[in-house]
A = this chain, B = another copy of it.
Amino acid sequence: MHYFEDFHTGDSFDLGSLTVTQEEIISFAQHFDSQYFHTDPERARRSIFGGLVASGWHTTALFMRMFVDSLLSHTDSIASPGINELRWLKPVRPNDTLRGRFIVTDTRVSQSRPDIGILYSHCELFNQHNELLMTFNGIHFVGRKPTESL
C-alpha cells in the first residue's frame, strides 16, 4: 500500500495501456454524450473530426481506469476535490491504444486535516502514435503513513 510519504515531487508513473473499441465509444456516448460525432460513424465523417471520436468525458474515464488499476488501487486514496486545466488536445478514435502518465508536481500536508496529504499532479494521455491527446492538473487527498510504520 502506498501512502502520501511514498510520493515525491518529480515522481513519474506510467499507468499502463488500454485499447478502446468503436462499440465502447458509441455505448458511452449513448449513455452520456449523444452528439453525432460520438455515436454515428457515417455522419461523424462530416464533423470537424473527420470520423467518430470518443466523448471527452469517456476519455477522462478511460484515463481514470488506468490510473486506478495501476496506482490508486494500491494507494490509500481518500478523495479528490477537483482538477484544473483539462485540455482535450486531440481526439480518441476507435481502436486507439492509450497510455497514461501521472507526474507528481507538488505535495503538502493538509493544514486542517494533518492525517491527510495532498498530491498535485500533471496527468497526460497518449495514443499509439505517441501523440499527446489530453492533459490535466490533478489534486488528490491521500492518507499519511500510519505512525507505527514510519
Tell me, rounded to whole Å, the shortest Cβ–Cβ distance linking A66 to chain B.
Answer: 10
Interface flag for A49 (CB, 8 Å): yes
Q: Is the CB of B33 within 8 A of A79?
A: no
Please give the count of copies of this chain that the complex contains: 2
Q: Is the CB of B35 within 8 A of A72?
A: yes
Q: Is the CB of B85 within 8 A of A84?
A: yes
Q: Is the CB of A86 within 8 A of B84?
A: yes
Chain A interface residue count, CB cutoff 8 Å, equals 34
Q: Is the CB of A79 within 8 A of B34?
A: no
Q: Is the CB of A35 within 8 A of B77?
A: yes
A82 contact from B32, B62, B81, B86, Cβ within 8 A: B86
Taken residue by residue from 120 to 147, chain A's Cβ proximity to chain B (1 for < 8 Å, 0 otherwise) reads as 0000000000000000000001000000
Residues of B contacting A47 in the complex (Cβ-Cβ under 8 angstroms) = 78
> Main SS of chain A's interface residues?
mixed
Interface flag for A87 (CB, 8 Å): yes
Q: Is the CB of B32 within 8 A of A56?
A: no
Known A-B contacts A31-B65, A85-B82, A87-B81; A57 and B56 likewise in contact (beta carbons under 8 Å):
no
Residues of B contacting A87 in the complex (Cβ-Cβ under 8 angstroms) = 81-82
Q: Which of A74-110 contact B (CB under 8 A)?
A: 77-89
Known: A34-B73, A49-B79. 4 other contacts (CB 8 A): A31-B61, A33-B68, A47-B78, A82-B86
